[in-house]
Every structure is written in C-alpha cells, then in structure tokens.
Amino acid sequence: MGGANNICSDKTGTLTMNKMTVTNIWAGRDLQLKVNDPTYNWRDYFNNDKHTNLIQEAICCNTSGSIREASATEQAMMNMTAKFGVDLEKKRKEKLPEDFVRFHFTSKRKRMSTITQNCGVTEHGYDRRIHMKGAAEIVLAACTHYLN
C-alpha cells in the first residue's frame, strides 16, 4: 500500500462484491425503495398502470441475459423487477420478437437501446417502442418528449 496513489472504498459492497441495489426511482417524483423488504408492491410506488407497464417493459427488454450473467447495473434493475414479482422471461417473450433489434452499450455510444413490439398501436400506426438507457445527457438529447 506504500506506493498506492488512490484507494477506492465503499460501504455497500459495489466494488468488493460487484453488487448493486436500486434504492431510488425517479418517476415524476423521487421514490425511495424499501430495500430491506423481501418483495415490493407496485401500488406502493406507482398509481398509474401505464407507467408500471412501461417500467417493467423497459427493464425486462432493455437488459441482456439473465440476472446471473448481467452486469452489476443490469442485475440491480432485474433484481428490483423480480422483487416486484415480474416474470422477466415472460415479459421478454411478450414484447421481443425473435428477430428483435438491439444496439448494445459501447463506451462510444454511451447508451443501449432495444426495440420492442406489441406496445399498442399509436395514432401513427406503430406498434413498436424503443427503450434507451445510458448517460443522462445522451438519453435526454435523443428525446423529443418525456413522461413526468
């Protein structure tokens, strides 16, 4: 340790155990999750079924692999939806066609995007939706509208 320039430490285990936990969600207001609860109830946090379904779809479909194979960030999101009682694979089968389009995260793009289907036909005749996650400034720059 005598030659160390930087020492990184944390109290939550993120660095030492490669484990993260979702503690807050922003959905028009700050929602603090009761992380010690073994399960969550959607109604305790959201009173709008459209927002609930949108969040479930975004997390289930715009994450890669299973909970065991995913990155620490994706594991945290998938573990949260599991605590809400969402069947990850069932939601993926419902919303992702076999030939779905996904743009994986890269350090250059600073975002990941997945196109889902069976989202309900809009006034423009589309039945698809794109979910994007990544650096806030990149995601916001790509938006023309947002839910608040």
Q: Is residue 6 part of a domain?
A: no
The CATH code of the domain that includes 120 is 3.40.1110.10
Mean local confidence (pLDDT), 92-100: 89
- Distance CA(23)–CA(35), nearest Å, equals 6
User: Which domain covers residue 80, as residue numbers?
Assistant: 17-142
148 in any annotated domain: no
- The model's pTM: 0.77
- Contact partners, residue 137, CB within 8 Å, separation at least 6: none
Any domain includes 12: no
pLDDT-based confidence at 82, cuts 50/70/90? very high
Q: What is the pLDDT of residues 6-65, one digit of tens each?
A: 555 554 555 666 678 999 988 778 889 999 999 999 988 888 888 888 889 999 999 988
Q: Is residue 96 part of a domain?
A: yes
The per-residue pLDDT for 77 is 92
Establish if 25 belongs to a structural domain.
yes
Structure confidence by residue, pLDDT tens digits, 103-123: 998 889 999 999 988 777 777
Catalytic residue among 10, 30, 44, 127: 10
Residue 10 known to be catalytic: yes
Residue 10 lies in a domain: no
Q: Measuring CA to CA, how many Å separate 102 from each of 62, 89, 132, 134?
A: 8, 16, 10, 14
Task: Count structural domains, the chain.
Answer: 1
